[in-house]
Amino acid sequence: MRRVFVDNLKGTEILAKPIYTANDMILLSQGIRVKRSYVGKLKELGIDYIYIEDAISEGIEIEDFIDERTRDLCKKEVKNVLEKFSTSGKVELDSIAQVAQNVIEDILSNKEVLVNISDIRREDEYTYSHSVNVCSLSVLTAVKRGYSPEKARDLAIGALLHDLGKVLIPDEILNKEDSLTAQEKEVFKQHVIHGYEAVKDEIWLSAISKVVILTHHERLDGSGYPFGWTGDKIHDSSKIVAICDVFDTMTNRRSNRDAYKIYEVVEYLTAMKGVLFDEEIVNTFTNYIAVYPSGSGVVTNKGDYCIVIKQNKSLPTRPIIRLIKNPDGEPYENMKEIDLAKETTVFIVDTYEI
């Protein structure tokens, strides 16, 4: 299995994961041949990538770090909360705690987790998918940093609701393709205040959940908002969510830019350790990210074009790869596999769309 850009489809590929409509109806079933004529519809739905089975990806398994049912349930619950808040101004959080608990249980049961970014998002569900991914990544980081299940639950709820206030920001600002003006930026920054105001009187919601919603855009150097806090003034849970929020935002395409490559975002977070982001938390987070996800295309220092077939959990930057084409772009008859944890003179220098 591998992920492929829909514009690169040839019309002979076999779909490895089903594609759903906004109403959770199956649009394309797993196992069908993906015709070129389907590309237009996929792009209308805002789907840039799909998963396929073919010869070069034979035997590659891409597992989500949380159960697919848990991810779907979380998305539906976040969607339900945000839609009710946008129409009635009321926040109904009855079941948000349970889906947060499901995420924690999934992560606690997966001791050897290494995150392969694998979710396929429709453009119309970006906000819900983003909230779930930030929650899942935040819980993983928190658990690896020794958070108790109770504290992780409070963080998870805050992460699921961290963008609650965005429903009160005008669409022309949220989805603007050009850069925001100074005035528009100030309006956008108000989303953290709106979100906090919506939940501040919820007695059952912990102080940690509320502070995450309010302060996940604060930065160590004081350049964040809404208060411009620095260093130790920022709660550790907000520091965790800040990193996961930036990572998920940057690795996904938005209306005004293409997605950054995962290794580029990891390099950015690493460069900003101790400046914008907490150094120890960044180290924990990046230890569990597959910099080159399974099924993705990579280029080695030898010039070979390859596909990542498996991760080395102790070495996220040195997976096992399958050589597909030589430096001249000619396919190899026998696709040799190399474990970069053992072949120390071979390393990845770039990624590419297969």
> What average pLDDT is seen over the chain?
89
Whole-number Cα distances in Å, 181 to 172, 178, 184, 189, 320: 12, 9, 5, 12, 46
The better pLDDT of the pair 4, 221 is held by 221
The better pLDDT of the pair 227, 85 is held by 227
Q: Is the pLDDT confidence value at 294 over 70?
A: yes
| Opening angle at CA 349, ends 343 and 354, nearest 5 | 100
pLDDT-wise least confident of 79-88, 151-160, 188-197, 208-217? 79-88
Q: Provide the pLDDT for residue 118.
A: 56
Q: Is the pLDDT confidence value at 214 over 60?
A: yes
The full set of domains in the chain, from first to last, is: 2-53 (3.90.105.10), 68-287 (1.10.3210.10), 297-352 (no CATH)
Q: Which pair of tokens denotes residue 254?
A: 């938005």
Q: Is the pLDDT confidence value at 67 over 90?
A: no
Q: Provide the pLDDT for residue 81.
A: 87
pLDDT digits 0-9 by tens, 150-190: 999 999 999 999 999 999 999 899 888 888 999 999 999 99
pLDDT digits 0-9 by tens, 237-255: 999 999 999 999 999 877 6
The better pLDDT of the pair 61, 324 is held by 324
pLDDT-wise least confident of 61-75, 220-234, 331-345? 61-75
147 φ, ψ to 5°? -60, 140
pLDDT digits 0-9 by tens, 102-154: 899 988 887 666 777 655 555 556 788 899 999 999 999 999 999 999 999 99
The confidence band for 91, taking pLDDT boundaries of 50, 70 and 90, is confident
Q: Is the pLDDT confidence value at 69 over 90?
A: no
The better pLDDT of the pair 47, 181 is held by 181
161 φ, ψ to 5°? -105, 10
**What is the full DSSP assignment across 87-130?**
HHS----TTHHHHHHHHHHHHHH-TT--B-------GGGHHHHH
The confidence band for 196, taking pLDDT boundaries of 50, 70 and 90, is very high
pLDDT digits 0-9 by tens, 280-289: 999 999 999 9
Nearest one of 214, 203, 97, 74 to 149, comparing CA atoms: 97
The better pLDDT of the pair 305, 80 is held by 305
The confidence band for 43, taking pLDDT boundaries of 50, 70 and 90, is confident
